């Protein structure tokens, strides 16, 4: 058996955690705010291990749910990288391409403009 510190533990995915995450994102939308992945993981109290991996899986689930409901500007768009520009990471844009919502690059002016348009739609959807 591996020592506890290196032992693989399963990623926890559950509906309660996803609902908590969505609730935090909707509250941020009402305030007109974005949040870094790390800050969101802490706010939603996502448990170890693989916190960011769990977060991205949950965000992808939210995007898929919203897309299935006819919403292309998902509240998951509020979660961004700490880097500048503050836009989501490549996986966000890859998923949106897979869903047929976006056809541009993962970074650069087109990605920034698309993300800005999504934020505008979200902030309009959730007035303060």
**Predicted pLDDT at 14:** 78
Q: How many CB atoms lie within 10 A of CB 120?
A: 11
How far apart, in whole angstroms, are the C-alpha atoms of residue 88 and residue 46? 19
The label of the residue with tokens 């303060």 reads 128
Which pTM was predicted?
0.87
Per-residue pLDDT of the chain (128 residues; tens, 9 = 90+): 334 433 443 444 578 999 999 999 999 999 999 999 999 999 999 999 999 999 999 999 999 999 999 999 999 999 999 999 999 999 999 999 999 999 999 999 999 999 999 999 999 999 88
């Amino acid at each position: 058996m591996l020592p506890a510190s290196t032992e693989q533990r399963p990623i926890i995915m559950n509906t309660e955690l996803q609902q908590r995450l969505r609730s935090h994102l909707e509250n941020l939308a009402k305030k007109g705010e974005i949040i870094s992945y790390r800050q969101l993981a802490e706010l939603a109290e996502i448990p170890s291990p693989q916190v960011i991996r769990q977060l991205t899986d949950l965000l992808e689930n939210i995007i898929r749910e919203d897309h299935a409901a006819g919403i292309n500007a998902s509240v998951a768009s509020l979660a961004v990288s700490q880097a500048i520009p503050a836009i989501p990471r490549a996986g966000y844009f890859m998923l949106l391409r897979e869903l047929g919502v976006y056809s541009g690059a993962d970074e650069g002016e087109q990605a920034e403009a698309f993300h800005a348009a999504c934020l505008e739609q979200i902030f309009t959807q959730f007035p303060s």
